[in-house]
Structure 1
Amino acid sequence: MFDLSGKCAIVTGSTRGIGLAIAQALIALGAQVVISSESAADTARVAADLGMPGMACDVTDDAAQAALVDFALARCGRLDILVCNAGITGRPGTFADLAMDDYAQVMAINLRSQVVLCNLALPHIAAAPGGAGAAVLVASLAGLRGNGRINAYALAKAGVAQLARNLAVEWGPRGVRVNAVSPGFVATELSQPLLDNADFMARRMAMTPLRRPGTPAEIAGAVAFLASPAAGFVTGHNLVADGGTLISDGS
């Protein structure tokens, strides 16, 4: 039910953190994974470490995303799985203090890029031999709750979850499943400043029934499930992997 042998996947933002863990999980299930990030050096290093093809891609560049899909098809001969993971948080602050240039960049990387890449990739996934392809869009718990500090990010991630629902309706008749994953607070290199903040951690863990941050591997497991035959009847879903934060009243 979890065998991805013979499948080809693209994972954006896959040179560190959650994206790297996703790539490793799909590889462990037998998939060939195209490694990608905007850094050519990081992409080459991780691709070599994993023994996989890699191509640098700035997801704000539509032509670069088209080239990434073409690269995957040339290297694998098919495309079965797309994981849109690349994203940035942007500058923290309220909407009242929002710099519109930062807002534009956050929306471009976190939401618009996923629209473009899905439009480029899903026709090829639908045409793959054997069918049953899938896309998994990485959203966020921030898109499901009110947030006073990462407003543009939260807005973009809410859009990602809706994008998954819309694309599930659009592509379901052609055998392509589209789902989202919404991670909660995860221990990564980027979250290290928060992990080191004792006051923040005390507040946040009190709101989380499991009383700990998640790990990149745990988010990767959720993505791997949605990409695998085990989730063959799951589409348009937003799988929340947050240790229970969303459902907790903090008591």
Structure 2
Amino acid sequence: MDYERLFRLDGRRAVVIGAGSGIGRESALALAAHGAEVVCADRDLSSAEETARLCGGTAVRLDVLDGAAVREAADGLGAVDVLVFTAATNVRKRLLDYSAEEFERVVDLNLRASFEVVRAFGAGMVERGRGSIIGFASIRASVTEPGQGVYSATKAGLVQLLRTAAAEFGPHGVRVNAVAPGVVETPLTRQIKDNPDWYGAYAAKSALGRWAQAPEMAGAVVYLASDAASFVTGAVLYVDGGWTAVDGRFNPPN
């Protein structure tokens, strides 16, 4: 084993869906820094092009809500060794306040579109006998709070979808894993960041006492994409600052 090259991705093609900003952009930059040829996909083409410029990759417009477009992209991009997808949305409302339209919007992007992406790109990987699929779940797949019910349900569903793909694709040499971030400063969490009390409460919940920055998710992506994780599949890698490890914040007296 050449441990000096354990995390290198030279000669591999990676597609990052949601590469236009946030965790997706940082994932694309990190994969490229480790030698991968990166295709930056996003429904906002100009944002994808900016990421591609930063990492020396190429950009494509892709709306994952369009199943036909996802299948066309998977066929048209040729051999893909690494797939990363981060696209998600949230409507922070209590269950009794949710509308059917809001429910469908969250489920459609977070779960149905993920189903289409995994199947479309996974088929080619299975046929070629290699590949790594990395989907972004959340701590909300295992712990929740008021106002997060539908989002949590979709992320729990995504974890089980990816585990099933790991079981089905594994005999063909394809690994499938999930990254589960805690609270990360991205456009998706701007509503919380803008509320000082809410922001502070979330910072205090993690063992590290702060929020994560998007670049702090990139190491997990590189790891799962690389030979360093050659025997890792069906896993959920929590990158949450200890959020799910800590039960309460009270420090008992000595």
Asked whether the two chains share a fold, i.e. TM above 0.5, the reply is: yes
Aligned twin of 2:32: 27
SS of aligned partner of 1:14: coil
* Cα distance in 1 for residues equivalent to 2:194 and 2:63: 31
Note the alpha carbon deviations across 1:140-162, whole angstroms, 9 max, x for none.
Answer: 11111122112211111111111
Identity of aligned residues (%): 36
* Cα distance in 1 for residues equivalent to 2:64 and 2:184: 23
1:80 alignment partner AA: D
* Cα distance in 2 for residues equivalent to 1:170 and 1:126: 9
Note the alpha carbon deviations across 1:76-119, whole angstroms, 9 max, x for none.
Answer: xx211111211111x22111111111111111111111111111
Aligned twin of 1:246: 244
| Residue 158 (str. 1) matches residue 159 (str. 2) | no
Paired residues in the alignment total 244
Answer whether contact 2:204 2:210 (CA < 8 A) is retained: no
Once the 2 structures are TM-superposed, how far is the Cα of residue 132 of structure 1 from its aligned partner?
4.0
SS of aligned partner of 2:176: strand
Aligned twin of 1:61: 66
* Cα distance in 1 for residues equivalent to 2:194 and 2:105: 28
Answer whether contact 2:33 2:55 (CA < 8 A) is retained: no
* Cα distance in 2 for residues equivalent to 1:136 and 1:231: 12
Note the alpha carbon deviations across 1:213-249, whole angstroms, 9 max, x for none.
Answer: 1121111111111111001111100111100111112
| Residue 212 (str. 1) matches residue 210 (str. 2) | yes
* Cα distance in 2 for residues equivalent to 1:87 and 1:195: 18
Which structure 2 residues correspond to residues 107-146 of structure 1 after superposition, within 5 A?
A: 107-128=107-128, 131-146=129-144
Aligned twin of 1:18: 23
Normalised TM-score (structure 2): 0.91
Aligned twin of 2:41: 36
Once the 2 structures are TM-superposed, how far is the Cα of residue 193 of structure 1 from its aligned partner?
4.1
Which structure 2 residues correspond to residues 70-85 of structure 1 after superposition, within 5 A?
A: 70-73=75-78, 78-85=79-86
Once the 2 structures are TM-superposed, how far is the Cα of residue 3 of structure 1 from its aligned partner?
1.0
* Cα distance in 1 for residues equivalent to 2:110 and 2:191: 22
Q: Indicate the larger mover: 186-195 or 221-230.
A: 186-195
CA RMSD for the aligned pairs?
1.5
* Cα distance in 2 for residues equivalent to 1:146 and 1:124: 35
Normalised TM-score (structure 1): 0.92
* Cα distance in 1 for residues equivalent to 2:243 and 2:123: 36
